[in-house]
């Protein structure tokens, strides 16, 4: 099976056919969510005449239909993704396996949704509704201000969590010809800074913080209450100097504490 699918993906003709099939499938799914909105717009168009009032009413119908389209697409795509990821468990899968092909079709649909719908939804409760439908576990009073969330069925976010703007929560990556998918767990009260990049297998503890532009490597574990951040852009020599100065400061503090304890004993 692996070699057969690998040949399909490597052959440009069969790969193009898979793409055509996938895009047709995506169009059909999006059409389901768009049909009611198109119907409302059509009904509003029939009310048009030469008056300004009917033109204004038709404009309102168009914008309300667009809003309804966003919400309905979120529900439809969330349900479809939930079905497509049934049995798709964390692990490492060869890029020529059936699981990889299945994930490839699923991720294509999700990428369409991320670029066409989510830009209008992140930062409000509708994105949390979609994520929950798609399989994510999200607590109360959590704020999510990013559209860059991939494989949401593997995402666990606690209560009172803040996800900053343009964060990248990515539950998959490729290593040495294997697709690696794993959970991302963010516990209660944690804060993820803007443009942080979170990779598969990451665990962020309670009331901990991830600084802006910080890249957490695969399987990173952040303990409760800790703060992790990437140092600002500077030369390697400057970074080494800061580390050495910090080590000297720590040694001096230990020596001072030891001397004070000796004086107290005397």
Residue 260: both structure tokens together: 């004070």
Helix (H, G, I), strand (E, B) or coil at 214: coil
Residue 98's pLDDT band, with cuts at 50, 70 and 90, is confident
> Each residue of 166-181: pLDDT tens digit?
999 999 999 888 999 9
More confident call, 266 vs 132: 132
Inter-CA distances, 167 with 31, 146, 195, Å: 29, 6, 4
* Mean residue pLDDT across the chain: 88
Query: What's the CATH architecture for 2-228?
Result: 3 Solenoid (2.160)
Q: State the pLDDT at residue 61.
A: 93
Inter-CA distances, 62 with 39, 40, 45, Å: 11, 8, 9
pTM for the whole structure: 0.81
- Domain borders along the chain are 2-228
Q: Would the pLDDT of 81 be above 70?
A: yes
Cα–Cα distance for residue pair 204/44, rounded to 1 Å: 49
Residue 4's pLDDT band, with cuts at 50, 70 and 90, is confident
Residue 49's pLDDT band, with cuts at 50, 70 and 90, is confident
> Each residue of 105-115: pLDDT tens digit?
999 999 999 99
> Each residue of 15-36: pLDDT tens digit?
888 889 999 999 999 999 999 9
Cα–Cα distance for residue pair 149/171, rounded to 1 Å: 8
Q: State the pLDDT at residue 264.
A: 58
Instruction: Region of 221 please: left (phi>0), alpha (psi -120 to 50) or beta.
Output: beta
Strand residues in 167-253 grouped as ranges (E): 168-170, 172-175, 178-181, 184-186, 191-192, 197-198, 203-204, 209-210, 215-216, 221-222, 227-228
Q: Would the pLDDT of 3 be above 80?
A: no
Q: Would the pLDDT of 163 be above 60?
A: yes
Q: Would the pLDDT of 254 be above 70?
A: no
Q: State the pLDDT at residue 228.
A: 87
């Amino acid at each position: 099976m692996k070699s057969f699918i690998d040949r399909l993906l490597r052959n440009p003709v069969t790969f193009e056919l898979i793409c055509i099939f996938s895009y047709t499938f995506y169009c059909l799914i999006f059409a389901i969510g768009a049909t009611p909105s198109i119907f409302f717009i059509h009904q509003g168009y029939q009310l048009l005449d030469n008056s300004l009032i009917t033109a204004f009413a038709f404009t309102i119908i168009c914008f309300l239909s667009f809003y309804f389209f966003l919400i309905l697409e979120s529900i439809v795509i969330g349900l479809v993704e939930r079905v497509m990821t049934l049995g798709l468990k964390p692990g490492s899968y060869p890029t020529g396996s059936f699981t990889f092909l299945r994930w490839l079709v699923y991720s294509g649909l999700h990428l369409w949704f991320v670029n066409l719908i989510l830009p209008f939804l992140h930062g409000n409760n509708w994105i949390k509704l979609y994520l929950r439908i798609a399989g994510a576990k999200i607590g109360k009073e959590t704020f999510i201000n990013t559209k860059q969330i991939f494989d949401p069925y593997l995402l666990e976010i606690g209560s009172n969590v803040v996800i900053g703007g343009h964060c990248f929560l990515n539950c998959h990556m490729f290593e040495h010809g294997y697709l690696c998918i794993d959970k991302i767990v963010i516990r209660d009260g944690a804060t993820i800074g803007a443009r942080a990049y979170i990779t598969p297998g990451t665990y962020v503890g309670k009331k901990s913080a991830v600084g802006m532009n910080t890249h957490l490597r695969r399987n990173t574990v952040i303990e409760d209450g800790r703060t992790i951040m990437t140092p600002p852009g500077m030369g390697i020599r400057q970074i080494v100097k800061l580390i050495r100065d910090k080590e000297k400061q720590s040694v001096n503090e230990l020596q001072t504490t030891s001397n004070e304890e000796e004086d107290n004993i005397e």
